Structure 1
């Protein structure tokens, strides 16, 4: 074990800002109901684009406690992070029992940073794209904050008063898993006792739509937004873009136990691998994801048969879904055919770097309530995706250990294992 022997890491607080309504309760209700939050894009006019649907957050910054100066200074993704971190800290019960500032840190993941603000500011300084030489005098005074994603972590650190390790993790669509995995390692090595960890992205903008249109990664099913995201279904034709944030309070186990904290789960295992193969392509055998799964289970001292639920990456592209199915079979063996697996992207879309943390929040809640969220819109399974992908309806099941996986452009493959503290490391 790296770091101080015996230092274990548990989740004691959860905050979520996701499509379907900000806050943990609306998020979990949406998932257990099997409802989708996908709709025609309203944040800009999507008419010129191939894919015109997304999963948007109904977010009122002022109603959620952000003042005019904060909303002026912060990109939408940073606003998500601050509001969500506040919810997580409140949920943890740490507000009056925070550690010394230098013993608390922050790790925030993001794939695309301040995309919305940069898109908007470019339109302003270029006068709608008419100027080759942009006029900086028209830019907002806080443009630098939009250029550096580290501003996200700084905003959260200022909010919670963290003076320990503060960083941003940006590994594409695995950023949310990697941010939590990295934060857990910081606690294990003894550099902090509490980490505020998660990820945020607000990518629903014309530049993002244009980029995914170019590679035909997003769905063109514009006439039926509610059923556009169809992971593992034979009729799927691309993912639905989303936005959102999740923040977890990670705490050293003995500290949490001493203060009587409610513990959702232990971060029992984490691993990440790269396929060193292609920016967007995946090898069909799923070898790299399978290796990340194997190592994360080894770290948790669990075997495939111990896993009670798998939260799939499940983006809804043919390439990813088949790659992931192969990875589960390769890493879990016969257990892959028995364990329930589902993709919540069918309901909240794919919020790029943020979604890994949102999915970890869903996994912790699944353990809390012993309910497996469904894969919405899965009516005609792809014959090559022949595992139990929990179609349409949530399922009650005792859940003591969960595996959550992510796959990102650049070849990133990550896996996190959550377990009850008395189940992990037995």
Structure 2
């Protein structure tokens, strides 16, 4: 299975090239917005998706972002020689969904809307819009697994293709939840930081990291076996769950290690073939400690380490989608992109933009509630 098309709407703006140029710049997508903090009395740093998209669509940033990234991925795949199969499936990775409109439904509209405006709030509506827009008649569903959701959707697509259920899959991962009401609980938990520049606060695998900055995104992929010039190959992956706690990582890391071992096994890959560990890299102590242990335990501290959340923000359901897009674009353009190093760091951490790699990439994602996932990517041979 290969990634033949990519579409992206992120805090950097609209389009995959805007995302790529933003990552290459080494500057965070986050900007200051009013109304953050426990008293809502200050500005907060959030990588919000800016207004834009198709003006003929409903005035919903969420709907426009979903449709915008999907349209870009489908058009991109066609330009890169995708030959559409008989059956196309659809997977939409989400966690919180249409947060802004749900807030306005209660606080602005008083819980009353016309039926067609109310329907925009439901998680089934974007799926229905996408299937209609792109003439998709294969299986279609939402996927949710906390911050592993994009990885899980990509792995589900691979399973569908392996079972012969579909020929192609459109995978969309969306999170538009950077409201003060959503950010503050994560700040209170000690996981998120919104009171300073993300490069100052979020330092995965570096000294002085305080946590992650919030981001928003909708990222889409067209997955297929039939394309002339795909970006990257999806070789396999795996999922496990800690079964431990709603927030905390299980301290032995046993299930995280097992997840990656299974991913390598199912992809028929040896650890020494992995050139890059594209990390969850949230900048929280427990996640950084877990992935540092993973790097040593499974890979003998050999691969280069990539962490992108200081730049794009932690986009929840879409976070792994942003990071897979960066890996796939990197294979295509022979570049390896990570956040710039700003403090003493792990020896294998990539500092900004470096030369591309010909080896394999393991993309990990660790979702709250113990949702572990690992995806194995590689260049198209």
Aligned 8 A contact 1:278 1:411 in 2: yes
User: What displacement does 1:88 show?
Assistant: 0.6
Match of 1:124 among 108, 126, 137: 108
Aligned to 1:108: 92
- Describe the shift of the 1:227–1:139 C-alpha distance in structure 2 as closer, same or farther (beyond 3 A): farther
Distance in 2, matches of 1:281 and 1:420, equals 34
User: What displacement does 1:155 show?
Assistant: 2.1
User: What displacement does 1:338 show?
Assistant: 2.2
Aligned to 1:4: none
Aligned 8 A contact 1:227 1:377 in 2: no
Aligned to 1:142: 117
Distance in 1, matches of 2:283 and 2:81, equals 43
1:58-90 superposed Cα distances (whole Å, 9 cap, x missing partner) = 2312xxx341xx224xx4233211101111111
- Describe the shift of the 1:152–1:327 C-alpha distance in structure 2 as closer, same or farther (beyond 3 A): farther
Distance in 1, matches of 2:126 and 2:342, equals 36
Distance in 1, matches of 2:180 and 2:357, equals 43
SS across alignment from 1:233:
coil
Structure of higher CA gyration radius: 1
Match of 2:248 among 275, 278, 281: 281
1:250-290 superposed Cα distances (whole Å, 9 cap, x missing partner) = 01x2x33xxxx212122101111000000010123322222
Aligned 8 A contact 2:336 2:357 in 1: no
Question: How many matched pairs?
Answer: 379
Question: 1:345-364, aligned counterparts within 5 Å?
Answer: 345-364=309-328
Aligned 8 A contact 2:26 2:339 in 1: yes
Distance in 1, matches of 2:199 and 2:281, equals 17
**Structure 1: which 4+ aligned runs deviate by more than 4 Å?**
94-98, 138-141
Are 2:356 and 1:397 equivalent residues in the alignment? yes
Distance in 2, matches of 1:209 and 1:398, equals 36
Aligned 8 A contact 2:198 2:311 in 1: no
Q: Which stretch of structure 1 is more off in the superposition, 261-270 or 228-237?
A: 228-237
Distance in 2, matches of 1:271 and 1:18, equals 26
SS across alignment from 1:197:
strand
Structure 1 unaligned residues grouped into runs of 5+? 1-8, 127-135
Distance in 1, matches of 2:223 and 2:194, equals 39
Aligned 8 A contact 2:278 2:361 in 1: yes
SS across alignment from 2:148:
helix
Distance in 1, matches of 2:364 and 2:93, equals 15
Aligned to 2:50: 58
CA RMSD of aligned residues (A): 2.2
- The TM-score normalised by the length of structure 2 is 0.93
Question: 1:10-409, aligned counterparts within 5 Å?
Answer: 10-41=2-33, 45-46=35-36, 48-49=39-40, 52-61=44-53, 65-67=54-56, 70-72=57-59, 75-93=60-78, 99=84, 103-126=87-110, 136-137=111-112, 141-146=116-121, 148-222=122-196, 224-225=197-198, 227-251=200-224, 253=225, 255-256=226-227, 261-332=228-299, 334=300, 337-381=301-345, 386-391=346-351, 393-409=352-368
Distance in 1, matches of 2:63 and 2:185, equals 22
Distance in 2, matches of 1:171 and 1:180, equals 12
Aligned 8 A contact 2:73 2:221 in 1: yes
Structure 2 unaligned residues grouped into runs of 5+? none
Aligned 8 A contact 2:199 2:310 in 1: no
Distance in 2, matches of 1:205 and 1:279, equals 22
Distance in 2, matches of 1:328 and 1:51, equals 37
